[in-house]
């Protein structure tokens, strides 16, 4: 007879995602949490788990790195994992966690969807580069002419 057979099947731990910044350079802590089954939770964030209607998280396309701390099965109780998760979230202050997070610039689920759609539109336009407008071409041409006119004017008036 095994003691705690269901608990022994657990793969508990805490995890954190390092993500790229939305439309900016650099990285930040994107998401942190706990789970009693880390591999399943990883697949759930990626949108590849067995749930019906499972979708990729809106911030998942920004994923730069994934860190996890696997705990032994006997530390996989919810009350213990929740307390460790709270400490982790307060320490890292991830941008896409909305609960328990003291960060002022955190992003809620609706804003995450908006940011993801902006990134999708920019990617569809060719890697985020905007098309050259006539005004943009005019400003660049004027700048080049002024850069050439400065040294040329100096050499002619010497």
Strand segments (E) across 25-139 = 27-35, 63-70
Distance CA 62, CA 99 (A): 20
User: What are the pLDDT tens digits along the chain (158 aa)?
Assistant: 466 666 667 899 999 999 999 988 899 999 999 999 999 999 999 999 888 888 999 999 999 999 999 999 888 889 999 999 999 999 999 999 999 999 899 999 999 999 999 999 888 877 655 556 788 788 888 888 988 988 888 888 88
| Assigned token pair, 63 | 């994923």
Judge contact between 66 and 94, C-beta under 8 A: no
Q: Which domains does the chain have, with CATH numbers?
A: 5-124 (3.40.1440.10)
Give the position of tokens 């960060």: 103
- In angstroms, how far is CA 104 from the centroid of its own chain? 16
User: Residue 80: its pLDDT value, please?
Assistant: 94
User: Residue 91: its pLDDT value, please?
Assistant: 95
Distance CA 68, CA 15 (A): 4
CA atoms within 13 A on the CB side of 117: 6
């Amino acid at each position: 007879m095994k003691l705690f057979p269901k608990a022994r099947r657990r793969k508990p731990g805490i995890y954190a995602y390092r993500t790229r910044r939305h439309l900016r350079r650099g990285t930040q802590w994107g998401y942190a949490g706990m789970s009693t089954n880390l591999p399943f939770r990883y697949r759930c964030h990626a949108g590849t788990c067995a749930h019906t209607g499972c979708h990729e998280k809106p911030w998942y396309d920004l994923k730069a790195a994934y860190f996890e701390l696997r705990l032994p099965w006997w530390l996989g109780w919810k009350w213990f994992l929740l307390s460790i998760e709270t400490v982790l979230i307060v320490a890292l202050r991830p941008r896409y966690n909305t609960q328990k997070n003291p960060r002022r610039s955190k992003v809620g689920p609706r804003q995450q969807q908006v940011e993801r759609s902006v990134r999708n539109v920019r990617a569809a336009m060719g890697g985020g580069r905007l098309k050259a407008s006539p005004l943009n071409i005019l400003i660049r041409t004027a700048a080049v002419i002024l850069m050439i006119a400065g040294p040329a004017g100096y050499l002619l008036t010497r």
